[in-house]
Amino acid sequence: MILLGSHIPTVGGAARAIERAVAIGCTAMQIFVKNNIQWFAKPFLVEEIHAFTQHPLRKNLGSVLAHAGYLINLAAENSLNHEKSLRSLAEELLRCDQLEIPFLILHPGSHLGKGKIYGLRCIVHSLNQIHAEHPKLKVRIALETTAGQGSCLGSHFEELADILAHVDDPERLRFVLDTAHVFAGGYDLSALHGAQNVFDQFDRIIGLKKLCALHINESKAALGSRVDRHANLGDPKNGKIGLEAFRWIMQAEELALIPKILETPKGKDLAEDVAAMKLLRSFV
């Protein structure tokens, strides 16, 4: 089974996302486990947890992933929001365990002007602290490649490898590659053999065995622009990557078991997701 899906809204409760995902033919999905622009949430009710984990359609999804909220920043230890970030992240990890979601995808963080080395050390300390304080968590944090906007870290594979090399328990860490982000970060997926080259680099620097998901997004922003703007696949006016890279990704044997998640613009009926999944499946 190809694990292919999209980021699905949880309006009406997390369990509703399963129904929406299955209704449009997803075999994988990503959700937020709470409002993504708020720090904290009301704890799940037991009924909400059961509605999700025991949902009769849950087995139709070969992979369920969560994406962490956008306020969390592990890379600036002495900022007002660092303590809050740690608490918010811990809460999200607990919510993932309650919903039996194995990976929480997180942007590494922004150093806010303190420099890359400082930021990377803060991320390592923060991950070590979270891991030490919550030894029993089943969910793993998966750091995502970023476009490198502003002082965001994680646009170079070396930065992510550096974090992996320095955390106390690297087994608890995974990674997610976002095609739009790496392209904006300077990895040319649009070139001849571009996708092959980029994934070879990822494998050499981080290791494909550490990759737990792919974000399959076209980029409205140019190569190396460090701007994060997703576009729909097969949109020749806006997409700068082009379909060849996505064809390669869908056909690559080394990526066959990796869940592939769309995070591209869509309306309420998710019609754009349906069209993109149809296109991607046609490549296999």
Positions in the binding site for Zn ion (CB under 5 A): 144, 228
CB of 132 to Zn ion, least distance (A): 25
CB of 68 to Zn ion, least distance (A): 8
If the CB atoms of residues 159 and 228 are measured against Zn ion, the closer one turns out to be 228
In the numeric block, which tokens belong to residue 193? Answer: 């053999």
If the CB atoms of residues 144 and 159 are measured against Zn ion, the closer one turns out to be 144
If the CB atoms of residues 218 and 228 are measured against Zn ion, the closer one turns out to be 228
CB of 142 to Zn ion, least distance (A): 10
If the CB atoms of residues 55 and 107 are measured against Zn ion, the closer one turns out to be 107
Q: What angle do CA 216, 6, 28 make, to 5 degrees?
A: 105
Measured from the Cβ of residue 213, the count of other Cβ atoms closer than 10 Å reads 24
CA distance 145 to 106: 9
The number of angstroms, rounded, from the C-alpha of 36 to the middle of its chain's C-alpha atoms is 13
CA distance 141 to 147: 19
Strands 109-110 vs 103-106: parallel, antiparallel or unpaired: unpaired
In the numeric block, which tokens belong to residue 244? Answer: 């060849």
CB of 56 to Zn ion, least distance (A): 30
Secondary structure (H, E, C), 109-149? EECCCCCHHHHHHHHHHHHHHHHHHCCCCCCEEEEECCCCC
CB of 178 to Zn ion, least distance (A): 6
If the CB atoms of residues 51 and 184 are measured against Zn ion, the closer one turns out to be 184
Nearest residue (beta carbon) to Zn ion = 228
